[in-house]
Amino acid sequence: MTAGEPTEDLLRVLAPRVLGTLAHRDPDFADCEDAVQEALLAAALQWPVEGRPDNPQAWLIAVAIRRLSDARRADSARRAREHKQATLEPTDALAASAADDAARSHDDTLTLIFLCCHPALSPASQLALTLRAVGGLTTPEIARAFLVPDTTMAQRISRAKQRVRATGIAFRMPSFDELTERVRVVLHVLYLIFTEGHTSTTGPVLHRDDLTREAIRLTRLVRALLPDDGEVAGLLALMLLTNARRAARTDTGGALIPLPDQDRTLWDAEAIDEGVRLVTATLGTRPLGPYQVQAAIAAVHAEAGSTHDTDWPQILMLYRVLEELSPNPMTRLNHAVAAAMVHGPTTGLALVDELAREGQLTSSHRINAVRGHLLEMSGDPQGARSAYREAARQATSIPEQRYLKVRASRLSQEHPS
């Protein structure tokens, strides 16, 4: 965390740490989250006016404790004593006590993830609750990740909180056996947090560094717990290799720069080296999983000097393996792009059309964006322009909208109808 970090980004990073600290003190997860949300609101209102405190995390914990204590006022004598301490203004002594909690909350964030991924919750609820409590994603953002209406996701998150309260799930790190049982859901959550940070689904910026940094940090913590798990290493490698391109993905005005046009000298060589080492050490030595395969694909891209020099046959082969391990519409769409690069755009377009006929990704802009790219490759500028315009209409990210509109406009200028 840096002094110049925007308040909104800082609050997103601190929220799960503060929630972890409160959940460590109080068994009611829903009430703890309510208290943290009130503390975040207070910070958003007060800090721009009064200035950011020297220890933002301690300040948030102190305020959240006070809010939680207010809610517990009549519960018991112990609660009353906590209330008496917490309702004091955040003095140096209270801030110091909260700072002690903050120092411990580095691990509490990971504990919080595993609590949200408890098997008493359904898999869908595990993912939704963790993205909300740990990832700091809004309900609409989570709904878009799962391709469901906002109201459906809000109900899912509410039911998950009620389930945690009803079952009395303890706030503790799971045993080793429990870790291995829950880790797949945890990895999925971390992947979704990273993905939202890498390409924001909404808003004026393409990427959100607060989410990508936090996802990488938490994945490193999971790897420290499970150093021999190939999929944990694979996910960390995938994040490092993907995030290494961040500086080259936008121009000085924030406009999107596609992979073929990126200045690869801006890529983070240190992150690429670490990612490639992780992939190399993992492949062939542990059971193969989808994150390892995706990391291998990212490594092929990272090691190529240009799009022309990329080993597309190897990438195509890896996407075929990935489809067998984890069949889903986005994998098939990326497979179509790789097939087009190896066998020509007609082959890729046939695969895209098959996805469309099956009703896959109809609410996403990506299928039309890929169709536009492949139609442009095939020499159909009018068809490409139409596809780009439809993709721009569907996109909710402003940089992606602008990029797609620019592509369509350029084709209109070069090939007027």
Q: For the segment 121-155, what is each residue's pLDDT rounded down to a tens digit?
A: 887 888 888 888 877 777 887 887 777 788 888 88
Sorted by sequence, the CB contacts under 8 Å of residue 183 that are 6+ apart come out as 222, 226, 229, 231, 232
Rounded to two decimals, what is the model's pTM? 0.77
193-197, 201-205, 224-228, 401-405: range with highest mean pLDDT: 401-405
Residues 196 and 135: their CA atoms lie apart, in Å, by 9
Report d(CA 51, CA 70) in Å as an integer.
25
Q: Map residue 412 onto helix, strand or coil.
A: helix
Round to the nearest angstrom and report the end-to-end CA distance of the chain.
Answer: 52
Q: pLDDT digits over 246-279, tens only?
A: 999 999 988 999 999 999 999 999 999 999 999 9
Q: What CATH class has 311-417?
A: mainly alpha
User: What are the tens digits of pLDDT across the range 341-376?
Assistant: 999 999 999 999 999 999 878 888 999 999 999 999
- Give Dmax (Cα) for the chain: 79
| Inter-CA distances, 186 with 192, 219, 223, 327, 388, Å | 10, 9, 12, 19, 35
Residue-wise pLDDT tens digits, 104-129: 444 577 788 888 888 888 878 888 88
